[in-house]
A and B are shown apart, each in its own frame.
Chain A
């Protein structure tokens, strides 16, 4: 599996934007970029995913570099409820729908200050 590299931790203030980086220099053409987050004492939660183009949903935006070797998860206005571990994961599409296993790294611990 292609690997991802994320900072161990980041901090933000409430209501400010947060940019969480992820490096994936060995990404292949069929790898999708997924982001999940895990709040304390809960299972992981899907945030967003993309292949080549930037993506937006109600939770976040995903900016993908033109060479696809890096991406950035953008939380537009951080809230205290966004404090979590954020995982950047590469996964191969299985026929364009769902995927098999997710290979999690250690993720980035996001702390949000009031």
Chain B
């Protein structure tokens, strides 16, 4: 297993366009998390899934953001009508609730630039 993967790694879009990012977690992990990170700040939690159920969503998350994990495997994060303030690194992480696994494993992130 090569770890958590995210695609694309970079995305440049014009303000007002919709974008979708994909995250493939470590295969046996049932939890999947999305975070957003702006320059000089720590990652900010957006939402997380256990299997296909979305268990928590940040109150700061705009209605323009939606995430899915339809079969409990990969996840997509969609941003509608992008704004310049959406420019950030979007990080995905996964973890397992079985055994004594405490770690969240992060992917390399998708860097979004809204022009």
Give residues in A with beta carbon < 8 Å to B: 32, 34, 36, 42-46, 49, 85, 87, 94-107
Contact = CB atoms under 8 A, between A and B. Distances in A.
Given A97-B102, A98-B96, A43 B91 contact: yes
Contacts of B35: 102, 104
B113 to A, nearest CB: 15
Contacts of A100: 48, 55-56
Given A101-B48, A101-B56, A43 B107 contact: yes
Interface residues of B, number: 30
Contact of A102 (B100, B104, B109): B104
B74 interface: no
23 contacts: A32-B102, A42-B108, A43-B91, A43-B108, A43-B109, A44-B43, A44-B93, A46-B103, A46-B104, A95-B97, A97-B98, A97-B102, A98-B104, A100-B56, A101-B45, A101-B56, A102-B33, A102-B35, A102-B104, A104-B35, A104-B44, A105-B42, A106-B40
B42 A87 contact: yes
A75 to B, nearest CB: 18
A98 B102 contact: yes
Contacts of B42: 85, 87, 104-107
A49 B102 contact: yes
Interface string B75-115: 00000000000000001010111111111111111000000
